[in-house]
């Protein structure tokens, strides 16, 4: 029996579509699912004589991201042409960044099981233009839609610091949160705003020797699920392949795979790393970009508290569970809404429950964020205070919350209107309890009996009181009165 131990090594390339209004080098609008070739102009069509003009906003977004990923932001950067022929690339070169990326040598912290975090190094962050789309469904020929051609893309490359599929997924999700918090990308997976390409191999220890399996790159994954599963699959496949053939990493034996979403297997695309010569050279049509201190500080003044930091703060300052804090910080609007509501005086746990149990559900139905439901943080804080002090029941508070999304009135006023203020006056409630006791002698007897019927009978009597008060009685007060009357 041989002794085998192995470690999975993964580096990730991520393409993120920037939330710019226009394309990277022309004024064409970025539109999803528009009529093919309707969002194009001479520049993104690559017509003779057309010249690119840099989208400054997209550059600012990339700088912001690079800063958030703790990168060194280049003071001087430029645009390079990457040459290859493909029908979806109208100029047959892509404008990208080669040796001077906007950001380099950074890191991202990702959550790992047990509430801890892990630092993954970022090799580079650069900007480039996307290609169009080849469509092969029309018949014995292909069609090219260039609406996407020229879309600003940010490419983020990590060092191979990821050691299992869960970490890979965690990084992807964390990055999604970050770019959304920064407002630099909608990061909508359905719209292909984030695409992943993991590079995977194994470092195997066998009989005190170390082996490295050939690196494989899985192309163009556009869901977290596909990303996680493909990495796990590749790790297993590589281990099996190693045990069977003993094949090890050599220069040039990097393979390229695709992912079959239905069979959930990786599919070999290119056996050997093609000797691609992209003939990079600086694009003479674009002037270099000088990032001076003034511009950089203007850009970085827009940086906000990042999701993981916020999540940790919610746990430490507001005593939330890591899970709840994670849910609240999945997008910035929700996180800020929660934070403001707590700062306006609401109890954190109660606000969290309002948001996670009711708010997110309504927001989902309406297709907006919790912050856009029309409930201001101070009104939500007020509602939380009413619930805490027993002025309204937990159930009534939910009703009031829902009503607040339709009305600008204060929660107290809504509670009054809907007759949801709890009756806590002992004298008044005692009268009602007495009436219920008088009307239900059997139940009273059962309740007093102390056997297994007693609990049910007790609940019945409580229910009668609530019914008589149309649900407005404070259940704690009623329970107390009932207990003293029944001497249990």
Partner 1 sequence: MSQEILKLTCRQLRDEIAKGEIKSSDAALAVFAQIEKYDGPIGAFLNTFKQDALQKAKEIDAKIAKRQNIGALAGVPIAIKDNMCTTFGTTTCASKILENFRSPYNATVIDKLLAADAVLIGKTNLDEFAMGSSTENSGLKKTVNPWDKSRVPGGSSGGSAAAVAAQMCFAALGSDTGGSIRQPASFCGVAGLKPTYGRVSRYGLVAYGSSLDQIGPLTKNTEDCALILNVIAGHDEKDSTSVDEKMSPMCDYLAGIEKSVKGLKIAVVPQLFEGADSEVVNAVKSAIDIYKKSGAEIIEIKMPHFEYSIAAYYLIATAEASSNLARYDGVHYGHRTKNAGDYIEVYTKSRAEAFGQEVKRRIMLGTYALSSGYYDAYYLKALKVRNLIRSDFTAAFGKADCIMMPTSPTTAFKIGEKTADPLQMYLSDVYTIAVNLAGVPAISIPCGFDKNNLPVGLQIISPAFAEEKLLRIARMFENQTDFHQRRPAL
Minimum Å gap between C-beta 135 and partner 1 is 13
CB-based contacts of 362: which residues, under 8 Å, 6+ apart? 373, 402, 405
Measured in residues, the chain has a length of 488
Q: Which is nearer to partner 1, 78 or 121 (CB)?
A: 78
Residue 314 binding partner 1, by CB under 8 A: no
Residue 323 binding partner 1, by CB under 8 A: no
Q: Site map for partner 1, 64-83, x if CB under 8 A?
A: -----------------x-x
Minimum Å gap between C-beta 290 and partner 1 is 13
With contact defined as beta carbons under 8 Å apart, do 245 and 206 qualify? no
**76 to each of 59, 73, 261, 288, 297, how far by Cα in Å?**
12, 9, 42, 7, 15
**321 to each of 197, 317, 326, 428, how far by Cα in Å?**
33, 11, 8, 40
Q: Site map for partner 1, 178-217, x if CB under 8 A?
A: ----------------------------------------
How is residue 100 written in tokens? 């001077």
Q: State the number of binding residues for partner 1 (CB under 8 A).
A: 29
Name the one range near partner 1 by CB under 8 A: 51-59, 177-185, 392-400, 427-435.
Answer: 51-59
Q: Which is nearer to partner 1, 45 or 398 (CB)?
A: 45
Minimum Å gap between C-beta 159 and partner 1 is 24
Q: Which is nearer to partner 1, 287 or 439 (CB)?
A: 287
How is residue 122 written in tokens? 């970022």
How is residue 318 written in tokens? 């507001």
With CB under 8 A as the contact rule, the residue among 15, 23, 39, 91 that binds partner 1 is: 91
Residue 279 binding partner 1, by CB under 8 A: yes
Beta bridge partners of 368: none
Minimum Å gap between C-beta 184 and partner 1 is 23
Q: Site map for partner 1, 7-46, x if CB under 8 A?
A: -----------------------------------x--xx
Minimum Å gap between C-beta 131 and partner 1 is 13
Report the C-alpha gap between 406 and 404 in whole angstroms. 5
**Which parts of 119-148 interact with partner 1 (CB under 8 A)?**
142, 144
The 10 Å Cβ neighbour count of residue 357 is: 11
Q: Site map for partner 1, 281-300, x if CB under 8 A?
A: x--xxxx-------------
With CB under 8 A as the contact rule, the residue among 92, 105, 298, 319 that binds partner 1 is: 92
With CB under 8 A as the contact rule, the residue among 51, 243, 290, 483 that binds partner 1 is: 51
Residue 87 binding partner 1, by CB under 8 A: yes
Q: Which is nearer to partner 1, 141 or 209 (CB)?
A: 141
How is residue 28 written in tokens? 């064409």
Residues 329-348: b if buried by 16+ CB within 10 A, e if exposed = bbbbebbbbbbbbbebebbb
Residue 418 binding partner 1, by CB under 8 A: no
**Which parts of 215-254 interact with partner 1 (CB under 8 A)?**
none
Name the one range near partner 1 by CB under 8 A: 177-185, 251-259, 279-287, 344-352.
Answer: 279-287
Q: Which is nearer to partner 1, 112 or 286 (CB)?
A: 286
**469 to each of 148, 295, 415, 433, 439, how far by Cα in Å?**
62, 65, 15, 10, 16
Minimum Å gap between C-beta 50 and partner 1 is 7
Residues that bind partner 1 (CB under 8 A): 42, 45-54, 81, 83, 85, 87, 90-93, 142, 144, 277, 279-281, 284-287
């Amino acid at each position: 029996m041989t002794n085998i131990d192995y470690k999975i090594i993964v580096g990730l390339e991520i393409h993120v579509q920037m939330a710019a209004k226009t394309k990277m080098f022309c004024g064409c609008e970025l539109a999803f699912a528009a009529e093919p070739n309707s969002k194009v102009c001479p520049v993104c069509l690559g017509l003779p004589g057309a010249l690119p003009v840099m989208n400054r906003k997209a550059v600012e977004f990339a700088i912001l991201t690079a800063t958030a990923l703790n990168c060194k932001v280049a003071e001087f950067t430029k645009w390079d042409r990457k040459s290859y022929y493909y029908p979806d690339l109208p100029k047959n070169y892509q404008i990208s960044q080669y040796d001077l990326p906007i950001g380099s040598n950074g890191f991202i912290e990702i959550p790992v099981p047990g509430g801890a975090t892990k630092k993954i190094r970022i090799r580079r962050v650069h900007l480039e233009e996307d290609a169009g789309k080849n469509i092969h469904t029309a018949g014995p020929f292909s069609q090219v839609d260039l609406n996407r051609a020229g879309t600003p893309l940010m490419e983020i490359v990590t060092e191979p610091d990821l050691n299992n599929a869960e970490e890979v997924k965690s990084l992807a999700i964390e990055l999604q949160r970050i770019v959304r918090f920064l407002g630099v990308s909608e990061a909508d997976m359905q719209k292909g705003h984030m695409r992943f390409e993991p590079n995977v191999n194994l470092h195997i220890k066998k009989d005190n020797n170390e082996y490295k399996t050939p690196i494989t790159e899985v192309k163009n994954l556009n869901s977290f699920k596909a990303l996680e599963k493909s990495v796990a699959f590749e790790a297993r496949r590589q281990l099996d392949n190693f045990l069977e053939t003993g094949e090890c990493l050599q220069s040039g034996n990097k393979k390229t795979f695709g992912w079959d979403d239905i069979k959930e297997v990786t599919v070999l695309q290119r056996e050997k790393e093609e000797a691609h010569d992209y003939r990079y050279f600086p694009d003479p049509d674009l002037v270099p970009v000088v990032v001076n201190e003034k511009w950089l500080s203007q850009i970085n003044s827009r940086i906000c508290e990042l999701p993981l930091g916020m999540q940790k703060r919610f746990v430490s300052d507001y005593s939330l569970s890591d899970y709840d804090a994670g849910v609240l910080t999945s997008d910035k609007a929700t996180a800020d809404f929660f934070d403001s509501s707590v700062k306006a005086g609401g109890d954190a746990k109660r606000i969290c429950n309002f948001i996670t149990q009711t708010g997110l559900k309504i927001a989902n139905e309406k297709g907006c964020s919790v912050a856009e439901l029309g409930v201001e943080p101070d009104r939500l804080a007020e509602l939380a205070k009413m619930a805490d002090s027993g002025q309204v029941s937990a159930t009534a508070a939910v009703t009031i919350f829902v009503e607040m999304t339709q009305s600008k009135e204060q929660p107290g006023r809504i509670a009054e209107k809907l007759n949801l203020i709890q009756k806590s006056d002992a004298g008044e409630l005692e009268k009602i309890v007495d009436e219920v006791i008088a009307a239900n002698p059997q139940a009273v007897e059962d309740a007093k009996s102390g056997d297994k019927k007693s609990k049910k009978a007790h609940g019945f009597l409580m229910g009668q009181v609530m019914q008589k008060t149309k649900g407005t009685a404070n259940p704690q007060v009623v329970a107390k009165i009932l207990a003293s009357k029944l001497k249990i």
